[in-house]
Structure 1
C-alpha cells in the first residue's frame, strides 16, 4: 500500500462562530490517574465507506471541536509548580491529508500489519501535538481516519467523547453533552489519608535495572522468532456459547458472567495453552477498570481525562488450563470487583502523598516491555462508543487498533455489525499464534 502524503498542517481552535477566545494560556495539572497511565500516543483506525464530506469540512469540524476540547489543542509539559501539566495555549492539533491510488478493498490489510501504521501520523518519535489525525482517501471514495491521542490527557471513554463531538461539529450539530473539565481538582486525597492496599506492587514499581529478565530466559521466550498480530472474528453465536459455558456452574442466586469476563477468561486459557505453559508457572492478566461508575460519588461519563486503574487476576498456568472456563471467569470477576471505590480512594491517597516522588517509583504501565509472556494485557473497547464517530455519511464499517506487536497484548473490539459479535487482536510469537488458531474456537 503506497500512501502519498498530500499535506500536513496544524489546525487550531476556531472561534469564528461567536464563541469568545480565551484571553491567555493557562496550565492544568494532570491528575494522579493521568500520570500513572501510559505516557504516549495511542492510535485508532476508522474506515468509512463513501460518501463522506470533503477534507475541508472535516478539518473545520476539528477546529470547532478543539474550541470545546481545548486540552486536545494544548501541550504537555512541566507547569510553574513543577508538576506535569497540560498547557491550554491553543497550539493546535496535527492534520494530515493523504491518498492511496487504489481501492480500499485491496489496500487495507485484512489483519494488523506494519502497513496499518501508514494510515496515521507517526507516534513513535514523541510528537508534540497531543492529537494527530490523518485522512487517507482511496480511489474508490472510501476514507480512513487515523486518530492518535496522547493517553495522559484522555482514556478510552474520554477519547470517544471527543471523537463524537468532532463528528457532530463536522455535521454542524451542537456538540452535546458538554465535557467536564476538572482534572486538576476532582481527585482530592482524604484527610487523613488512608492507604489500604499495596499500590507499590500494583500501579507502581521501583525502577528496573538494565539487565536481561531472568524469567524470560527461563521460559524460553528469548529464543522465539517474530511476534505476529492476528485478528480473530468471534461470532455472536460463539460469544453466546462461551458466556453460557462460563456461567453454567453458577448457583441460581448468582448473575451470569459478563461478555467481557467470559471471553477474556476463554482467551486467557487458550493463550496459556498455546504458549505451552504448565504447572508451576504463574500467569496474570492486566485488565483496565473504568472508575467512573465505581467511585463515590460517580465520575460523570463526560469527564475528560483518565479514571482507570487495573485488575490483575492470577493463576497457576496448569490449574488455569485444566479447570473449566468458569474458573477463569470467576478469577476475573473477583479481581475486577476488588477494584472498587475504596481501592480507587486508597490509590488517590498514596499517589497524592509525595511517596511516589520520594521513593522514585515509576508506573507499571510500561509500553516498552516487548514480551509479556507468561502474562497478558487486555484492552477492551466493548463499552466504549468509538462507533459513534460520524462525519455525515454514517458510522465506520471498521474500527481497529493500530499495529501493536507487544507480545501478550490483546484488544477486544465490538463488531460494527452491532449484533454481539466482536474482533480480538492478539499479539503472540509465531509458533504460539499458530497453536492458538487451532484451539481458539474450542470451548472447554
Structure 2
C-alpha cells in the first residue's frame, strides 16, 4: 500500500465565542493518569463513501478540541513539580494523505505492519497529544487514524471525544459535555486506609539489570522479531456456545458468565496450551477494570481522564488447561470482582501519600515489554462505543487497533455487524501461533 502524505499541520481549538482562555493553565494529572501507559494508542476507522471533505473534518476537530482542551495541551512538570497537562492550545497534528487505489485492494484484511501507514508515527515520541491522519482512497472510502496519549484519556473517555468530534463535524452541538476535573476529583481519605498490596500490583521497584523470569524460561529478546499477530473471528454462534459451556457447571442461583469472562477464559486456556508451558509455570492475565461504576458514589460516565486499574487472575498452566473453561471463567470473574470501590479507594490513598516518589516506585504498565509469556494482557473494547464516530455518512464499517506485535497482547473488538460477534487480535510467537490457530475454535 503506497500512502502519499499531502499535508501535515497543527489544528488549534476553535472556540464558539471566538475568545480563547486568557492564560494557559496547569492541570495536575490524576493518580490514575500517572499509573497508566505513557504512550500514544492508535485506532483505525474505515468509512465507506460518501464522506465530508477534509476541511469539514478538520473544522469539527478544532471545535471538539475547544471542549476537550487537554487534548490540545502538552504534558510536563507544572510549577509545583507535579506531572500535569498544560492547557495552552498547542493543538493537534492533522495529516492528510491519499492512496491511488481502492481501499478493498489496498488495506490488508488482517493484522499487518502496513496498517501503521494509516496513522501518524507514534514511535518517535510525538509532541502533540492527539495525532490524526485522514487517508482518502480512489474508491471514495476514508481511513481515519487516531492516536491519543493514554495519560490524557482511557478508552471510554477517548470514545466520548470521538463522538464529540463527529457531532462537531456534522455542525451539531457537543453533548453531553465532558467532566474535566481530574486535578481535584481523587482526593485521599482522612485518615488514609491502604488495605491492599499495591506495591506488587500497580507499582513495582525499578527492575535490576539482570536476566528476568521470562528469559530464564526461554522467551528472551532473541525471539522478539518472530512475533506475529493473528485476527480470530468469533461468530455470534461460537460466542453463545462458549458462554453456555463455561456456565454449564454453575448452580441455578448463579448468573451465567458474561461474554467477556467466557471469551477471555477460552483464549487464556488456548494460548497457554499453544505455548506449551510447563504444568507448574504460573500464568496470569492483566485485565483493565473501569472504575466509573465501581467507585461509590459512581463517577460521571462523561468524566474525561483515566479511571482504570487492573485485575490479575492467575493459576498454574497445568491446572488451567486441564480443567474446564468454566474454571478459568471463575478465576476471571473473581479477580475482576475484587477490584471494587474499596480497592480503588485504597489505591488513591497509597498513590497520594508520597510513598511512590519516596520509594522510587514505577508503574507495572510497561509499554517497553516486547514479550509477556507466560502472561497475557487483554485490551477489551467490547463495552466502548468506538463505533460512535460519525462524520455524517454513518459509522465506520471497520474499527481496529494498529499493528501491535507485543507477544501476549490480546485485543477484543466488537464486530461492526452488531450481532454479538467479535474479532480477537492475538500476538504470539510464530511457532506458538500455528498451534493456537489449530485449537482456538475448539470448545471443551
- Superposed pair shares fold, TM > 0.5: yes
Counterpart CA distance in 2 for 1:34 and 1:443 is 38
Q: Is the 8 A contact 1:221 1:373 kept in 2?
A: no
TM-score, structure 1 as length reference = 0.98
Q: Is the 8 A contact 1:7 1:97 kept in 2?
A: yes
- Which residue of the partner structure matches residue 105 of structure 1? 104
- Which residue of the partner structure matches residue 296 of structure 2? 296
Residue 19 of structure 1: CA displacement?
Answer: 5.4
- Which residue of the partner structure matches residue 63 of structure 1? 62
Residue 174 of structure 1: CA displacement?
Answer: 1.1
Counterpart CA distance in 2 for 1:19 and 1:152 is 29
- Which residue of the partner structure matches residue 246 of structure 2? 246
TM-score, structure 2 as length reference = 0.98
Counterpart CA distance in 1 for 2:94 and 2:141 is 18
1:194-205 matches, within 5 Å, as 194-205=193-204
Residue 359 of structure 1: CA displacement?
Answer: 0.2
Query: What SS is found at the alignment partner of 1:153?
Result: coil
- Which residue of the partner structure matches residue 118 of structure 1? 117
Query: What SS is found at the alignment partner of 1:327?
Result: helix
Deviations 1:310-366 (A, max 9, x none): 000001000000000000000000000000000000000000000000000000000
Q: Which moved more, 1:317-326 or 1:210-219?
A: 210-219
- Which residue of the partner structure matches residue 307 of structure 1? 307
- Which residue of the partner structure matches residue 175 of structure 2? 176
- Which residue of the partner structure matches residue 412 of structure 2? 412
Counterpart CA distance in 1 for 2:220 and 2:439 is 21
Counterpart CA distance in 2 for 1:348 and 1:38 is 17
Q: Does 1:83 align with 2:82?
A: yes
- Which residue of the partner structure matches residue 134 of structure 1? 133
Deviations 1:286-306 (A, max 9, x none): 000000000001111100000
Residue 222 of structure 1: CA displacement?
Answer: 5.3
Query: What SS is found at the alignment partner of 2:173?
Result: coil
Counterpart CA distance in 1 for 2:217 and 2:53 is 55
- Structure 2: unaligned runs, 5 residues or longer: none
Deviations 1:265-306 (A, max 9, x none): 000000000001131100000000000000001111100000
1:135-174 matches, within 5 Å, as 135-174=134-173
- Which residue of the partner structure matches residue 49 of structure 2? 50
Q: 1:172 to 1:253 in 2, by over 3 A?
A: same
Counterpart CA distance in 1 for 2:220 and 2:63 is 49
1:357-396 matches, within 5 Å, as 357-396=357-396
Q: Is the 8 A contact 2:100 2:137 kept in 1?
A: yes
Query: What SS is found at the alignment partner of 1:416?
Result: coil
Residue 218 of structure 1: CA displacement?
Answer: 2.0
Counterpart CA distance in 1 for 2:220 and 2:281 is 13
Query: What SS is found at the alignment partner of 1:64?
Result: helix
Query: What SS is found at the alignment partner of 1:152?
Result: coil
Counterpart CA distance in 2 for 1:253 and 1:115 is 49
Deviations 1:2-21 (A, max 9, x none): 10000000000112x32542
Query: What SS is found at the alignment partner of 1:228?
Result: strand
- Which residue of the partner structure matches residue 323 of structure 2? 323
- Which residue of the partner structure matches residue 96 of structure 1? 95
Query: What SS is found at the alignment partner of 2:46?
Result: strand
- Which residue of the partner structure matches residue 275 of structure 1? 275
Counterpart CA distance in 2 for 1:389 and 1:39 is 25
Counterpart CA distance in 2 for 1:197 and 1:166 is 39
Counterpart CA distance in 1 for 2:205 and 2:284 is 20
Counterpart CA distance in 1 for 2:171 and 2:328 is 47
Counterpart CA distance in 1 for 2:222 and 2:4 is 38
Counterpart CA distance in 1 for 2:216 and 2:353 is 37
- Structure 1: unaligned runs, 5 residues or longer: none
Q: Which moved more, 1:108-117 or 1:420-429?
A: 108-117
Q: Is the 8 A contact 2:387 2:416 kept in 1?
A: yes
Residue 212 of structure 1: CA displacement?
Answer: 2.7
Counterpart CA distance in 2 for 1:403 and 1:440 is 21
TM-align CA RMSD: 1.0
Counterpart CA distance in 2 for 1:431 and 1:398 is 29
Counterpart CA distance in 2 for 1:221 and 1:129 is 33
Counterpart CA distance in 2 for 1:265 and 1:236 is 17
Q: How many residues align?
A: 443
Residue 111 of structure 1: CA displacement?
Answer: 1.1
Counterpart CA distance in 1 for 2:89 and 2:213 is 47
